[in-house]
Every structure is written in C-alpha cells, then in structure tokens.
Amino acid sequence: MNLADEGHDVLIVDNLSRRKIDIDLEVESLTPITNIGERLKAWEEIGGKPIRFEHMDIAHEYDRLVTMLKTERPDAVVHFAEQRAAPYSMKSSSTKRYTVDNNVNGTHNLLAAIVESGLDIHIVHLGTMGVYGYGSHRGATIPEGYLKVEVPQPDGSRFEEEILHPASPGSVYHMTKTLDQLLFLYYNKNDQIRITDLHQGIVWGTNTEATARDTRLTNRFDYDGDYGTVLNRFLMQAAIGYPLTVHGTGGQTRAFIHIRDSVQCVQIALENPPTKGERVKIFNQMTESHQVGELAKKVAGLTGAKLNYLPNPRNEAVENDLIVDNRCFIELGLKPTTLDDGLLSEVVDVAKRWASRCDRSRIPCVSAWTTTQAEAIKQAS
Ligand code: USQ
C-alpha cells in the first residue's frame, strides 16, 4: 500500500500460505483479517491506487513465475515469500522440511527466473538480523553484512578482505535466511543480479499509516506461541491480564524495528538500488536493541502486568550482547521510531479491542528446540 501510495504499479504475488497455516494451527490473528479480494477492494474504495493480485506459489510454480516476469517486466521484486516464524520452523520435522522447501526453493526460483527472463530486475529481500547469531560478539559492532578480515600469508604478511559475516543461525527458519545469503552471493557474482538484502530485527507495532485508514486493511496481530513476536506478545498479554512470558532469565538481547519504519526501509531500499555489477547490498534494518527481560519490565511498568519467568523452549544463549551498525538506512534518511510509551500503549489498545478473540491456551510457546527443552517445559507445566 505504501508503494502504491508512492505512485508505483504494484502486483502482489502470493500463495496465501500464512492463512492456511492458521487453519492447520487452529489459531487466528488477534485482529480479524479480511480476505485478499476484500482488502484490495477496500483499498480502492478509499482512493488507493489499484493493486493487482496473482495467486502463485513461487517455490513450486517456476514456469508461471518466468512467464509472469516476462509479461510484467518489473523494475523490482520485493521478496517476502518465506515462512517467517522460528518456533513454527522448529515444531516438527514436517515444519522444518516445509520451511526449508518453501524458503530456499522460493528464493532460488526467483533468482533462476530473473536470469531466464533476461531482465535487469532489482531484488529487495527480507532477510533477518538472526543470520549473525546471538552468541557473544565480545563487544564488537555487527557490520552491515560484510566483515573485514585479515588473512595471514605463508611469508607472515597479511592481506585485508571483506567477507560475508559468518552465519550463526539459531533456528531452521533463520538457517534458511543464511542459505538465501549464499544464493544471493552466487547469482550476484555469476549473473550480476542486483540484490538488496534487508537484515531485519523483530518487528513491533500493529498499524502503518496506510493500514490505519480502514479497518478492512488492518494488519495481522499474531499473539500465539508459534507466530507472535516477543514485544507484541508482551503488550497483548498485558492487555488481557496474562503474566508476561519471559523465556529463561530474559537476558537475550535482540534488535527491534517499528512496523512503520520497516515499510519505510523497503521503500528506501527500492529507491537506492545497487548498480549493475555491485556486490549484494546489505542493510541492517533495525533501530534499537533491547534485552527481552528489560522490555518485559518496561511493559509491566506501563501496564501493571506481572512477569512470569519460564523455562526457555529455545536452544539459545542465556545472555548476549548486541551492538549493531545501521548507518546505511540512517544516512539514506530513515528517522527511527523508537520505543515510546504512546506507541506501546497503542498496541495495548488494539489488543484490548480484540481481547475476546484471544485463545489463552495458545499463548504459551510449546515448540521446543530439542528434547532437553521439551522435557524442561513438561516438568514446569
Ligand atoms: N521470547 C520470550 N518470550 C516470548 C517470546 C519470545 O522471552 O513470549 C524470546 C525468545 O526466546 C527470543 C526473543 O524473545 O530470545 C525473540 O523472539 P521472537 O519470537 O520475538 O523473535 P524471533 O524468533 O527471533 O523471530 C522474529 C521473526 C523473524 C525475524 C526475527 C528477527 O519471527 O521473522 O527474522 O524476529 S531477529 O530476531 O532479529 O532475528
């Protein structure tokens, strides 16, 4: 919607898999989500530039994808077509295999299709901060994708080189995004495909300026243990009087970005494409870092919610540091929306409005990373 507002001709290509996963998991977004046809109609009714829609599974309908690219001849493809939840990806061998099949195939099909089309199409891909991992970086700043290293030579001299930052995924989902990075590296080197990879942090907030224009355009608000992300979950839990579900000690530090900024970043990335032959551009799409336990305390302070420290279902460091370089977006004009009591309260208000739609039994995170974590969750319940 933001891109249509900017005057772009937008075609959505989607297999609507997220809606099917809702049916499988027997849980729905806290906010009611209208079907795609109704959403597009609502957008036009309120004066939005028409957006078209094509139902397609890019991971498995390769020939249709090539034909579509040749017909549409887009300047850019914004690639969001991936299963995006870490807990869902760790639920069972079936969800692990689905996540790898969908995410890796989808990305590779898109790259191969662009080469086959012969067109110069810029890919803007939604990657993740999780590719860098959440171990100790020993106080070092995480660079935007590339790490400067010194390589020792046999004669004792050294040369400097920039390599892709070592990958350290913390879930099968995050692993697929590290695999995407290698696919991009290769196709950029071999075929000079122009690519921007957005290493996004955890999104919080519910509405953007465009989605707030009509209730039929409301965003998803995932609160369940598989798809809900941490800050929105805490805010929603506070809204319904459910003790905040802090995993472990809450010492995990993560990168965050408000949904409005996320939308803004995609636009900035599209407006500043790499040149032909330039290496993959990597932007750290985050505005601030916070410790999960500190966030819980902040939400508790704001709302009076209670904290509940739970056995961590994830196999992750108890505590980590996270200093991130995000100069690329700031230099290109991003004005960060940082954690602000008003915006936090806005999420609580949205959650309160739809509280009756909440299934409290779906709040706990029960997807365990290993049998050790599964055992700990069982013991505690
Ligand atoms: N956590 C809690 N309590 C909860 C939920 C989560 O303490 O109720 C903790 C988790 O154990 C973890 C941290 O909060 O340490 C973040 O969890 P999350 O579910 O908010 O985020 P994550 O699984 O890392 O994934 C989300 C998105 C993913 C995106 C990623 C960006 O689902 O698509 O790539 O954030 S990042 O985390 O920067 O890699």
Which tokens is 200 given?
């996004």
Q: Where do the domains of the chain lie, and which CATH numbers do they carry?
A: 2-221+255-289+320-338 (3.40.50.720)
- 230 CB within 6 A, ligand 1: yes
Coil, helix or strand for 200?
Answer: strand
Q: How far apart are CA 83 and CA 123, in angstroms?
A: 18
CA of 200 to the centre of ligand 1 (A): 12
Q: Is the pLDDT of residue 242 over 90?
A: yes
Choosing from 98, 132, 173, 242, which is the catalytic residue? 173
| Active-site position among 91, 96, 177, 281 | 177
Encode pLDDT of 189-225 as tens digits: 999 999 999 999 999 999 999 999 999 999 999 999 9
Probe residue for ligand 1, chosen from 134, 226, 229, 314 as the CB with the greatest number of ligand atoms within 8 Å: 229
Predicted confidence band of residue 381 (pLDDT cuts 50, 70, 90): confident
Ligand 1 centroid to 68 CA: how many Å? 34
**How far does the chain reach from its first CA to its final CA, in angstroms?**
43
Picking from 47-51, 52-56, 136-140, 353-357, which range would have the lowest pLDDT averaged per residue?
136-140
Alpha carbon distance 254, 123 (integer Å): 26
Residue 135: per-residue pLDDT: 86
Using alpha carbons, select from 107, 337, 311, 314 the residue that is nearest to residue 207. Answer: 337
pLDDT above 90: percentage of residues in the chain:
96
Please indicate whether residue 247, judged by its CB atom, sits closer than 6 Å to ligand 1: yes
Whether 206 is catalytic: no
Strands annotated E in the chain:
11-14, 52-55, 76-79, 122-128, 141-142, 146-152, 158-164, 195-200, 202-204, 244-247, 253-258, 281-285, 288-291, 307-310, 323-324
326 lines ligand 1 (CB under 6 A): no
Share above pLDDT 70 across residues of the chain, in percent, rounded to a whole number: 100
